Structure 1
Amino acid sequence: MSTQKESKINQLLQSQPSGVVLLSSWLSEKGYSLDLQKRYRKSNWLESIGSGAMKRAGENVGVAGALYALQFQKDMSIHIGAKSALAYLGKIQYLEFNTKKVFLFGGKNEKLPAWFDQHNWEVEINYFRTSFLPSDSGLTSIDQTTFHLKISGAARAMMECLYLVPEEQHLIECYELMESLNNLQPAKVQALLEACTSVKVKRLFLYLAEKAKHAWFNYLKPEKLDLGSGKRSLAKNGTYIPKYQITVPKELENYGQ
């Protein structure tokens, strides 16, 4: 390989953090032609991990490194959310958490690329495409040694957990998670609730926050929220909560009493 091409690959590797996926489409935009990419693979600078995606040769790249590529090379909103985000944020120390399962959320029209979907990340990927919250609201940034990643902040992650009730998430566990969120900022919570389009999520969030007796709950303004009309049942033969017009499991209503 010519000195010029070696210099170009060195520039690339120095400009990008280690442990991340490099997308072929993004490399092309940066001036690395498909032919040049092919040469880099042939010269063992890069390795393919699927159609249109590569990594540094010899590196181990996990889900976080793949998400980095989606977020910062492809400008997608796909992120770690729900219980997985709360685990990253250190909110689940006292609960059993299956680290072999990762919850991802993205926009209604955002499909996981084939290379992501088909690659073995050694974890179970649970991906949900939703629009019940704005794609850029309630996110935070976490450090992953060589790069940073956008994930759901605590309030958004809690709402994503409630979005998954009851099919993918137990409501009682949601209450246990809510109990750990004693330092949320009410103004940010209020803004997220006002932006949320899911009546179920809003009613459950208010109910659980009030039940947990969080101080920040007293600063919320439920009267500004569209809580819809009609009753919502989330458990058979459960307990009806008139204030929020929801039926919840009896063991939840009796929890802690």
Structure 2
Amino acid sequence: MLDAWEPHSVATGAYLKTLGITSQDLQNYTSSRWLTSLGRGAFKRPMETVTWQGALYSLQTQLQLPVHVGALTALEMSGNSHYIRFANTKAYLFSPLNVALPLWFRTHWGDDVRHVQTKLLPPELGLTEQQAPEGFALKTSGVERAALELLHLAPKEFDLVEAGMIIESMTSIRPTLMQSLLEQCASIKVRRLFLYLAERANLPVMRHLDLERIDLGTGDRSLGPNGRYVAKYQLLLPRELVDRG
């Protein structure tokens, strides 16, 4: 069991059961201090530090929970952090609606993460795997999906001007994937905002998108007081994102 245990990760009761380890075994192991309990159905090795990444790895691989690293955190992991200066240092985890993180995870790592439950995008579209500092692969949003997740949380959680600077730096967005994401994105605000920011930055992806297949809805969207109105996308935005010079 210990030899097969990924360092700095959690072993769940469900996983240990597949190895033939009984509840009585687990009681004996914790009493003998071979294992440390993290709460109901979760254990770690004594004297070993487990980060939220190690705990998330166990959620993804052992419990098969559809939870992934998204938004700003996924962009940081992919190296797209040139303009990232947000004060919030929590890790952003995304899942479909009604997916709950286990109590043991929330107890030990709840202050380290922000769990976003949303139907913004189809569960698997635009996901990839990236290496955590500990060396194991975590399911994360690719750059394209992470950009839309970031805009989904703006302006409430992320400043729109800084989000715009991040989008501006994304010169290698894959057009085919972004087309699919925009077509299936559930938020009119996010669709319009991405297209405006990408157009403003003259990103290469804009030359390849079929805008007629992307539903931009009707009606104005206000994303800040005392802003500037962008008629093409029916958005009221901070003047720094609209004014030139």
Shift of 1:236: 1.4
Is the Cα–Cα contact under 8 Å of residues 83 and 165 in structure 2 kept in the other structure?
no
Q: Report the equivalent of 2:184.
A: 195
Match of 2:131 in 1: 143
1:77 aligned residue (66, 87, 99): 66
Cα distance in 1 for partners of 2:140, 2:88 equals 16
**What SS does the corresponding residue of 2:94 show, helix, strand or coil?**
strand
Specify which of 104, 118, 126 is matched with residue 130 of structure 1. Answer: 118
Q: For 1:153-196, what per-residue CA distance to the aligned partner results, in whole angstroms no more than 9, with x for missing partners?
A: 11111111111122111111110110121111101111111121
1:68 maps to 2:57: yes
Query: What SS does the corresponding residue of 1:200 show, helix, strand or coil?
Result: helix
What is the match of residue 157 of structure 1? 146
RMSD of the alignment, in Å?
Answer: 1.7
1:107 and 2:99 correspond: no
Alpha-carbon distance in 1 for matches of 2:194, 2:42: 39
1:172 aligns with 2:155: no
On the 8 A contact 1:162/1:204 being kept in 2, the answer is yes
Matched residue, 1:238: 227
CA contact (8 A) 2:83 2:166 kept: no
The equivalent of 1:119 in structure 2 is: 108
Give the structure 2 partner of residue 7 of structure 1.
none
Contact 1:19–1:146 (Cα < 8 Å) also in 2: no
Partners of 2:175 and 2:169 in 1: how far apart? 15
Q: 1:185 aligns with which of 167, 171, 174?
A: 174
Following TM superposition, by how much is the alpha carbon of 1:98 offset from its aligned partner in structure 2, in angstroms? 4.8
Q: Show the counterpart of 1:205.
A: 194
Tell me the TM-score normalized by structure 2: 0.93
Farther-moved stretch of structure 1 (63-72 vs 143-152): 143-152
Q: 1:30/1:193 Cα in 2 relative to 1: closer, same or farther (>3 Å)?
A: farther
Q: Is the 8 A contact 1:50 1:119 kept in 2?
A: no
How much identity, in percent, do the aligned residues show?
40
Between stretches 39-48 and 173-182, larger displacement belongs to: 39-48
Aligned residue-pair number? 244
The residue aligned with 1:38 is 27
Paired letter, 2:220? K
Question: Normalising by the residue count of structure 1, what TM-score does the alignment of the two structures yield?
Answer: 0.89
Runs (5+) with no aligned partner, structure 1: 1-11
| Deviation string, structure 1 residues 183-219 (Cα, Å, up to 9, x no partner) | 1110111111112111111111111111111112110
AA matched with 1:25: A
CA distance in 2, matches of 1:43, 1:148: 31
1:248 to 2:237 alignment: yes
Residue segments in structure 2 that go unaligned for 5+ positions in a row: none
